[in-house]
Amino acid sequence: MTSGWAALALAALSRKLVVVTVRGSSMSPAFQDGDRVLVRRGSPPAVGQVVVAERPVRGGGWPGDPVRSAAGVRGRQWLIKRVEAVPGDRVPRALAPMPQERVPPGRLVLLGDNRAVSVDSRELGYFPADRVLGVVLSRPGAGPRGYPTESRGRSAASRSPAVDSQK
């Protein structure tokens, strides 16, 4: 019976937690190319948190419906960015000029830490909140300074979906 509960708990966690690999340098120095991060799905992001959000396709549209399950993560392109503003917050100066004074409902302002190379809300505008995969919790296997301690070889964990921090 205990193994049944463990299997249920593991299944529930697998729907809530996703491991993704960072590509690019727009979140440097906090996150480097090749870092793997653990993402918690399902909770609304707050200002200052780092999130993984779906990248719009060329022309600004979206490739389909928002991802509803961890199974839908593969095959999509993702960005890792910091939440600068949430609905109701004043529009940050980085987005000036925007027609609204406040961030509209259901939208977020996402910016990269390394602004010189980041493609983010300054170019793409507001991100729909339903296009956020989740909030970054940590780097699995991170050492005391936050850097991965294990090899970056082709283990199962390193085959996680890539998160592009620049595009």
Do 111 and 93 meet the contact criterion of CB atoms below 8 Å apart? no
Q: Could you tell me the CA-to-CA distances from 46 to 52, 80, 93, 104, 151 in Å, in that order?
A: 13, 14, 18, 15, 32
Model confidence over 6-34: pLDDT tens digits? 444 444 455 688 888 888 999 989 898 99
Amino acid identity, residue 17?
Answer: L
Residue 92 has pLDDT above 60, yes or no: yes
Residue 43 has pLDDT above 90, yes or no: no
Cross-strand pairs, 85: 109
Residue 148 pLDDT: 38
pTM score, two decimals? 0.74
Q: Find the Cα–Cα–Cα–Cα dihedral 85, 87, 92, 96, rounded to 10°.
A: 140
Classify residue 153 by burial, with Cβ atoms within 10 Å: 0-12, 13-18, 19+. Answer: exposed
Compute the Cα dihedral for 9, 11, 12, 18 and give only its sign. Answer: positive
